Amino acid sequence: MMSSTPAYPRPPQGDSWFAPVSVDMLAKVLKATFFHPFIAWLIPICFRAEMMDYEATPMRVSIVYATFISLCWIATTINNRIAYGARREVDLGEEVIVITGGSSGLGLLIAEVYGMRGATVAVLDSLEMENGDARGVTFYECDVSDRKQVEKVAQEIEKDLGTPTILINNAAVVNGKLLLQSKIEDIERTINTNILGHFYTLKTFLPPMIRGGNGGTIVTVSSVIGQLGSAQLTDYSASKAAATALHKSLTAELAQTNPEIKTVLVAPGQLSTPLFYGLQTPSSFFAPVVEPVDIAREVVSAIDNGKGGFIAMPLYARWIDWYNVLPASIQRLARAVSGVDTAMRSFVGREGSPMANTEKEKFVAF
């Protein structure tokens, strides 16, 4: 059971009278009420309880509306089945879950949830786990940007825990500087960790996962910034765009060769984690800060149900592909209004959070 309490202090945000209200909150309310088939069909049922004739306009309109909403839900179910295939059977007692960057943030939340539920969890990180030892979780010190370290740890996991069936590529670092102010070493570290680390873990853990014959799940944690790009995030944006492209190509390959391996892409907006501490969201209404527990809940649900899928929060992140079809002038105007290219001016980084204050500890999980 995941707590709704943030695992980390939320980055300081500007105050406003509508701060608790966001587009996402309104969308959730509508989905659970007016856009839910059960609620939609209650309306004609209530009309009929009042002995309203079927030929009456309100009755006809309500039936058409309820039918439309029901068809939309059915179409969504069919779409997901066609897009992601049949589900795989998941037995947590038999699953071995590998999470990179699991010492803090989103990765730590997922590790704790599965550890408490009886799954076998291996956390790979260059830093010790922030909460110390967690039940059912085994920590392995590993820099995923180093291929040899990944291969060595993989052998230890196979020996200690068994063959991995679920891989969550979550480790990431952020530089947060203008391109011309960034050292080549910083850029290399970002690329090596945020994208080459994915290739290293996939090449190492995917073959035994396939040989195991029980299927598996691969979760790729990307970012909406991989689609948008942003000033002061050139290397980070490039690495996340590459991670998204890697997921799409890998999904296509596995669909042809090993459909029992499910893939999940996670592309959130700004998360309330130490990685982007100090960064203020350009708009708390249209682009609210996402709590890691909300993303973790969706990731856990996808894995538990043996599904592939696409997870994006807040609401705008699920529709960001449409940004690329807008005229260039509208895109530029949207960037100016949203403040996406000026938001990083308030960036402090992990060393500015109460959790840590060293340069080394900027090397953390998303």
pLDDT at 349: 60
> Please, what sign has the CA dihedral across residues 147, 149, 153, 155?
positive
Which secondary-structure segment (H or E) carries 310? strand 309-311
Burial of 282 (0-12, 13-18, 19+ CB in 10 A): middle
pLDDT at 12: 47
Which position among 8, 200, 236, 316 bears the catalytic label?
Answer: 236
The domains of the chain are located at: 23-84, 92-362
pLDDT at 45: 95
- Other residues' Cβ atoms within 10 Å of the Cβ of residue 119: 22
What's the pTM?
A: 0.83
Find the angle CA(161)-CA(222)-CA(365) to the nearest 5 degrees. Answer: 55
In eight-state DSSP terms, residue 365 is B
Is-contact 154 200, C-beta < 8 A? no
pLDDT at 361: 37
Question: Whose CA is closest to 214, among 28, 89, 301, 323?
Answer: 89
Residue type, 117: R
Which secondary-structure segment (H or E) carries 120? strand 120-125
Q: Say whether 289 sits in a helix, a strand or coil.
A: coil
Instruction: For the domain made up of 92-362, give the CATH fold.
Output: Rossmann fold (3.40.50)
Is-contact 128 103, C-beta < 8 A? yes
Mean pLDDT by 10 residues, the chain (366 residues): 45 50 85 92 93 92 96 93 87 94 90 92 89 82 95 96 96 90 94 96 96 93 92 93 97 94 93 68 75 92 94 89 90 84 70 37 40
236 a catalytic residue: yes
Instruction: Please give the structure tokens belonging to residue 180.
Output: 């011309």
The pLDDT tens digits of the residues spanning 291-306 come to: 889 999 999 999 999 9
